[in-house]
Amino acid sequence: MNVVIHNNPAALGEHLATRILAELRAANAAGRPYVLGCPGGRSPMPVYEALERQLAADPVDCTRLVVAMMDEYLLSSAEGLLPPPASAHYSCRGFGEREIVGRINRALPAELRMPVENFRMPAFGAPEAYDADLTTLGGIDLFLLASGAGDGHIAFNPPGSARDSRTRIVTLAEQTRRDNLATFPEFRGLDEVPTHGLTVGIGSIATLSKAVAMIVWGDGKREAFRRLSTASAYNPSWPATIAVECRNAELHADAAAGANQ
């Protein structure tokens, strides 16, 4: 896996945003969709912020851009497990609508904006259909990935996830839930973090991606950087290591995460 260390998260974000927009322009010229796989949370935020800045400065036609999210929380109810409303502070759908699609579209004139129907998420009622939907689109051109700091979860795949796992409902690992206390600071304690999630699978990431960019930054991601930069194959004890088995894999870190490695 090619390792790139940037001075800071902002530089990391600018680098990947420049790449995404160049690839989107090429897809537009070829008359095909460009599918960007997106996690929620802190790690990819520098990329989403940079996309907004760059699109505002130099608009690109985003009508063929497809944003494919990785996961969503599920809440226990009398009717069983259900996704939260998009208005919930921790909703992955809400995050994608606000922080990805919202940023892209407010930077652009109306005729260049990404259509709402190009925002994709796994369907709660038929999670297995997500992989087929993305396959029909031609796969994911670039999948932005992130690693949990405490247990290496990727999307909501917990340690021990099978290499061939597909999009499915999972029970969240306790360490994943603890990591998400920092990701969503409005949670007041672990008991408020949902215990289940809908997630793209380990095998789904590896099979559907044409290229992946794993993002780790900050002092808290030094262990993640160490694990990822030294991995040679998927290790289920740190699920984010699936990145090393993906095509055209890159690891993007800032100086803090990559320090003294």
Cα diameter, the chain: 51
E strand or H helix that includes residue 209: none
The residue range of the domain holding 65 is 2-231
CA distances from 147 to 136, 188, 242 (A): 27, 23, 10
Is residue 158 in some structural domain?
Answer: yes
Each residue's pLDDT tens digit, 148-203: 988 999 999 999 999 999 999 999 988 889 888 888 888 989 989 999 999 999 99
User: Residue 103 and residue 117: Cα distance in Å, rounded?
Assistant: 16
Is residue 178 in some structural domain?
Answer: yes
Q: Where does the pLDDT of residue 260 fall: very low under 50, low under 70, confident under 90, or very high at 90 and above?
A: low
Each residue's pLDDT tens digit, 230-258: 999 999 999 999 999 999 999 999 999 99
Is residue 168 in some structural domain?
Answer: yes
Is residue 85 in some structural domain?
Answer: yes
Is residue 131 in some structural domain?
Answer: yes
Is residue 26 in some structural domain?
Answer: yes
Q: Which of 114, 18, 96, 16 minimizes the C-alpha distance to 58?
A: 18
Is residue 261 in some structural domain?
Answer: no
For the domain that residue 98 is a member of, what is the CATH number? 3.40.50.1360
Q: What pTM value is reported for the model?
A: 0.95
Each residue's pLDDT tens digit, 92-141: 999 999 999 999 999 999 999 999 999 999 988 899 899 999 999 999 99
- How many structural domains does the chain have? 1
Return phi, psi of residue 91, to 5°.
-65, 125
Is residue 253 in some structural domain?
Answer: no
Q: What is the mean pLDDT of the chain?
A: 95
